[in-house]
Amino acid sequence: MGSRARDSRQAILDRLRSREVTPVELPAIFGDDSISQVAIGFDDPATQFAGTVEAVGGLCLQVGSMQEVLNKLEQDEVYRDAARRCSLVGDEIPGNVNLQEIEDPHELSSLDFLIARAEFGVAENGAMWITDRDIRHRASLFITQHLALVVSRQSILCNMHQAYERIGQPETPFGVFIAGPSKTADIEQSLVLGAHGCRTLTVFLVDEPA
């Protein structure tokens, strides 16, 4: 296959080069007259964000501190019933699964609850950006039965143009926007939450002045 694959590479490129196509200018995304200039904005992005998170099937709780996050969690049946919990948000929220001690992500198959931090949220669609910078196993985000994300109220952006401007260049091999719990509508278009990924998504919108 080795040499044939190299041939195919050359053949494809040659075929593409054999046909000159009239050039088209690449539009600017930022700057005057660009799409980011006219994109939707919100006076109060955090409130808009909270509403959108609920619209895409998540639960959004607005809190003042991490202590309050813990209080809310302890009132939550799903969290109380969770046998295997993992916390990636610091010691305020305790857990009994340590990702650093796990070699093989398959061991996470029985994880019940994961709480992690999102770098920022987006008001227009309720999405939150998470990278694998501090998450040893990216599988943990998808395999956990229930997911909670902590995001700062001050980090909420209006739209996806601002989001990618903020991401800049990806430094880690993995980053994901998560908006709501896993869902499907493949059986007669009925919406069912909890397809393969998390069954519930709780978002803690924390007020933490920069």
Hey, which residues between 86 and 125 contact another protein (CB under 8 A)? Answer: 105-106, 109, 124-125
b/e map 98-115, b = 16+ CB within 10 Å:
ebeebeebeebeebbbbb
Q: Closer CB to another protein, residue 76 or residue 124? A: 124
Interface residue with another protein among 94, 170, 209, 210 (CB under 8 A) is 170
Using CB under 8 A as the binding rule, whether residue 3 contacts another protein is answered as no
Query: Which residue lies nearer to another protein by CB, 117 or 175?
Result: 175
Residue of 31, 75, 188, 209 that binds another protein (CB under 8 A): 188
In terms of Cβ atoms closer than 10 Å to its own Cβ (0-12, 13-18, 19+), residue 50 is buried
| Contacting another protein within 123-162 (CB under 8 A) | 124-127, 137-139, 141-143, 159-161
3 state SS of 17: helix
Binding-site size, another protein (CB under 8 A):
76
Measured from the CB atom, is 95 or 180 closer to another protein? 180
Q: Looking only at residues 30 through 69 of this chain, which bind another protein when binding is defined by CB under 8 A? A: 30, 35-36, 38-40, 52, 55-56
Interface with another protein in residues 68-87 (CB under 8 A): none
Q: Could you give the count of Cα atoms lying within 13 Å of 69 in the half-sphere of its Cβ?
A: 25
Residue 197's SS3 state is coil
Least Cβ distance, residue 131 to another protein (angstroms): 9
86, 105 in Cβ contact below 8 A? no
**H or E stretch covering 91:** none
